[in-house]
Structure 1
Amino acid sequence: MPETPSWLTVTRGDAPLLVSIPHTGTEIPAAVEAGLVSPWLARKDADWWIERLYDFAAGLGATVVRTAVSRTVIDVNRDPSGASLYPGQATTGLCPTTTFDGEPLYRPGAEPGPAEIADRRRAFFEPYHAALEAEIARLGAAHPRIVLYDCHSIRSVVPRLFDGVLPHFNLGTNSGASCAPDLAARIEAICDATGLSRVTNGRFKGGWITRRHGRPREGVHAVQMELACRGYMADPEGPLDETTWPAPYDPDFAAPMRAALTAILEACKNFALEGPRP
């Protein structure tokens, strides 16, 4: 078995629950950082503090896969071909060249070309998905049904990507193709019981991880949860700078959201334990 790269963390559990954390990384290789406009700008769109918000997952017996590499280097939740997952809508690519707000990430002429993008795919993208596939196979050998839960967050207001204020919970099931309706309904019920806003398959229907690995007919049910940051951390309105973003993690502020997420992961685990492959 190949050695796990230092930037990739795989914490193995025995429950039929696999938790993916693809966008909390802040590591940027020196060769990449040399071409950036600003290291802070390159880390601006990280899914801040998600690894802390979900750090209870391993205690539920979940397997957790996380990359420490920044999404600016390569986004492991994008189609590796470079095709847009949201045709006709503003988004960022496999190796982003702008922030969510449209700000250039690279100095002129320093943007990654095809050869550099291919190198990053081999170095970071492919090992991440190979790790997910390996854990799906391991857990699938022990359980007839498993759930892949993909963790994300984003600022509540990003006008370039969506209108208005994003709901607190954004559940994505690839328009119903990546998981059983019953699983989605259980998650929706928990979200709705909080009194916070929720949408299913709204602006965020699930990225490449959900779409690639969700195979409900084979017993692999995948969902993406995109949280609006204001649900668990201070989320400033208006332009951001290094003094205002990211806001520090506050466990007390995050506690209500964390309680809801604990219930959601428990529901995912129970769903997997209750039934065989369809």
Structure 2
Amino acid sequence: MSDWLTITEGDAPLILAFPHVGTGLADVEAGFRSPWLARRDADWWVNDLYAFAADLGATLVATGISRSVIDVNRDPSGASLYPGQATTELCPTTTFDGEPLYADALPDEAEIARRRTLWFDPYHAALQWQIDRLRAAHPSVVLYDAHSIRSHVPRLFEGELPPFNIGTNGGTTCNLALAAAVEAICMASGESHVLDGRFRGGWTTRHYGHPENGVHAIQMELAIRGYMDEPEAPTEANWLPTFDPARAAHLTAILSQIIEAARAFALQEA
């Protein structure tokens, strides 16, 4: 554990990763055009939303560094995860809406390498260590990559995002039975969902998800309106969302079923 990386270890064959809950701007804050913009696209309160998972024996890994500093869910080579579609870089230069993040100089290769050494590499070293630790005790492990996003981001997707967006990179990152179990819970909830739609799983899901080696990775991208009030147009005056457990209770109940199903799947693989 460090001042920017929080790890809660459990013994169940289940890891929840939170790559985008951080809002820390570290030593690069002065370079951003607006600290508010540099924090706006965080996955707000997602680690609080899934806090119950620790009681199920899950391991939780969360970074406190903002995705605007470095996105630990991007391909470190710089290759796009969604060729031909709008996205953001390893060290983003724009917001999701395309607004410039930097006032002047953009991060150059040396600066990107520095940020990777300081934050990207240690985050993934921690994830790999936890996977290896649990694989030593269990035949299979589920890595659940937890995310959220505003319901409307026209630059990234058309219309309104469904509440549940499941990503398995076309069924390659986990056993189909795991994806089916998660999808069935979403269907039974009465809320809309999509499997491998606009969000098919980021670098974390694609990099670690090797079901043939006993590591099943799945991403869940939640539309943020499912657990808190979402303004139609976020501004600096209205966009510092607060987390209200009572407001989120409906979604938390569904997510509890999903996490329990993921845990049960991993245990059944023994």
Shorter-chain TM-score category? over 0.9
Give 1:93-112 correspondences, 5 Å limit. Answer: 93-109=89-105, 111-112=106-107
**2:215 aligns to what?**
220
- 1:42 matched to 2:64? The reply is no
Give the match for residue 19 of structure 2.
22
2:224 match: 229
Following TM superposition, by how much is the alpha carbon of 1:249 offset from its aligned partner in structure 2, in angstroms? 1.2
Offset, 1:18 = 0.5
Instruction: Please show how residues 1-278 of structure 1 align to structure 2 within 5 Å.
Output: 4-30=1-27, 32-109=28-105, 111-238=106-233, 240-276=234-270
Which consecutive residues of structure 1, in runs of 5 or more, have no partner in the other structure?
none
1:108 deviates by: 2.2
C-alpha deviation, 1:29, in angstroms: 1.4
Structure 1 distance, partners of 2:14, 2:140, is 9
Deviations along 1:153-187, one digit per CA (max 9) or x if unpaired, are 00000000000000100000011000000000000
Q: Identity over the aligned pairs, expressed in percent?
A: 63
Deviation string, structure 1 residues 66-87 (Cα, Å, up to 9, x no partner)? 1001101100000000110000
- Report the Cα offset of residue 99 of structure 1: 0.3
The one-letter amino acid paired with 2:40 is: K
Distance 2:21 2:15 in 1: 17
Report the secondary structure of 2:69's partner residue. coil
* Distance in 1, Cα, partners of 2:266 & 2:104: 49
TM, length-normalised to structure 1:
0.96
- Give 2:225's aligned amino acid: R
Aligned partner letter, 1:85: L
1:5-64 Cα offsets, whole Å, 9 max, x none, are 32111110000000101100011113x111111110100000001011011111110000
CA distance in 2, matches of 1:33, 1:247: 21
Instruction: Provide the C-alpha distance between the structure 2 equivalents of 1:5 and 1:119, rounded to a whole number of angstroms.
Output: 18
Determine the C-alpha separation between the residues in 2 that align with 1:251 and 1:140: 33
**Offset, 1:275:** 1.8
State the shift of 1:247 in Å: 2.4
Per the normalisation by structure 2, the TM-score is 0.98
SS at match of 1:73: coil
State how many pairs are aligned: 270
Structure 1 residue runs of 4+, over 4 Å off?
none
Deviation at 1:263, TM superposition (A): 0.6
The amino acid across from 2:181 in the alignment is R
Query: How far did residue 248 of structure 1 move?
Result: 1.5
Please tell me the residue identity of whatever aligns with 1:169: F
